[in-house]
Structure 1
Amino acid sequence: MIMQDNLGADGDAFYNALMDAHEGLSEAESHALNARLVLIMANQIGDLTTLKNLLSTATQAADVK
């Protein structure tokens, strides 16, 4: 299930900010930043069912089994 776009025009701005946050990081540092970001966002969402649905959606979108 692909989710609704809730960012609208701000989606590109967020993507650019995310890429800027990774600027100059090593691959390991970039992975660590992503892990911290996921945990912070998960805490902000705060609903296990929603989080599991998001994991499923991301896995399907990446075609990971």
Structure 2
Amino acid sequence: MTVALSTQSNFADPDAAYRLIVEAHRGLGDEQSAALDAALVLILANHIGNLDLLREAVTLAKRSVVDGG
């Protein structure tokens, strides 16, 4: 079964999702903030549980960082 990576917002309130992530970083230093991001990525990658989707997501994320969006 092939599953496509969803790149459209799946949140009823995407702004609330964004605020939740931003607020999670409040009060953290740079290293703690980076560790939080890494932990969140690993938790969500495990939840996805699909190596092909993860590979596609990593490619898209890396492209957005290298190409500047």
Taking structure 1 as the reference length, the TM-score comes to 0.85
Provide Cα deviations, 1:35-64, integer angstroms capped at 9, x if missing partner: 000000000000000000000011111227
Mapping of residues 1-65 of structure 1, within 5 Å: 3-7=7-11, 9-62=12-65, 63=67
Mapped partners of 2:8, 2:53: distance in 1: 14
Structure 2: gaps of 5 or more residues: 1-5
Determine what percentage of the aligned residue pairs are the same residue.
44
Number of residues paired by the alignment? 62
Distance 1:51 1:58 in 2: 10
Once superposed, what is the RMSD of the aligned Cα atoms? Answer: 1.6
Distance 1:58 1:24 in 2: 25
Structure 1 consecutive aligned stretches of length 4 or more whose deviation exceeds 6 Å: none
| One-letter amino acid matched to 1:6 | N
Q: C-alpha distance in 1, partners of 2:9/2:36?
A: 23
